[in-house]
């Protein structure tokens, strides 16, 4: 399943990319993290990371598929061409948000 803001369910409701990602990763409790990622990272990077996380064999997922997705996003963000795209977009949107800070507090156990 891809998260491309298409209609979901029988009521044809539109859902955000972050909500869709939480659903397909079976990690709806971390929707604040996915919303922060949606603001911070290019959509192509997020879609690439989501596809990779979903393709990973279930038996080899160490923690959760959501944690795997976060790791893949961070890995991709360090690579070109994503790094140059992120650098040019930093003046448009703030990198840190309250939601992102809350996510880091939850994941740094």
> How many of the other CB atoms lie within 10 Å of CB of 64?
14
Domain membership of residue 56 (yes or no) is yes
- 48 found inside a domain: yes
Residue 2 lies in a domain: no
* pTM score, whole prediction: 0.67
Count of structural domains within the chain = 1
Whole domain around residue 30: which residue ranges?
Answer: 7-107
Q: Is residue 1 part of a domain?
A: no
Q: Is residue 22 included in any domain, yes or no?
A: yes
Name, in order, each residue with C-beta under 8 angstroms of 54's C-beta and a sequence gap of 6 or more. 1, 24, 25, 65
Specify if 43 maps to a domain. yes
pLDDT digits (tens, 9 = 90+) for 68-102: 999 999 998 888 666 666 665 554 444 334 334 44
Q: Could you report the per-residue pLDDT of 19-31, keeping only the tens digit for each?
A: 999 999 999 999 8
12 in a structural domain: yes
Please check whether residue 29 lies inside any domain of the structure.
Answer: yes
């Amino acid at each position: 399943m891809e998260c491309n803001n298409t209609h979901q369910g029988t009521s044809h409701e539109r859902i955000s990319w972050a909500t869709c990602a939480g659903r397909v990763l079976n990690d709806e409790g971390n929707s604040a993290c996915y919303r922060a990622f949606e603001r911070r990272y290019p959509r192509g990077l997020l879609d690439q990371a989501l596809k990779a996380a979903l393709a990973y064999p279930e038996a080899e997922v160490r923690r959760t598929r959501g944690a795997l997705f976060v790791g893949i996003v961070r890995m991709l963000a360090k690579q070109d061409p994503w790094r140059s795209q992120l650098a040019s977009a930093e003046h448009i949107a703030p990198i840190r948000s309250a939601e992102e800070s809350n996510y880091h507090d939850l994941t740094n156990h």
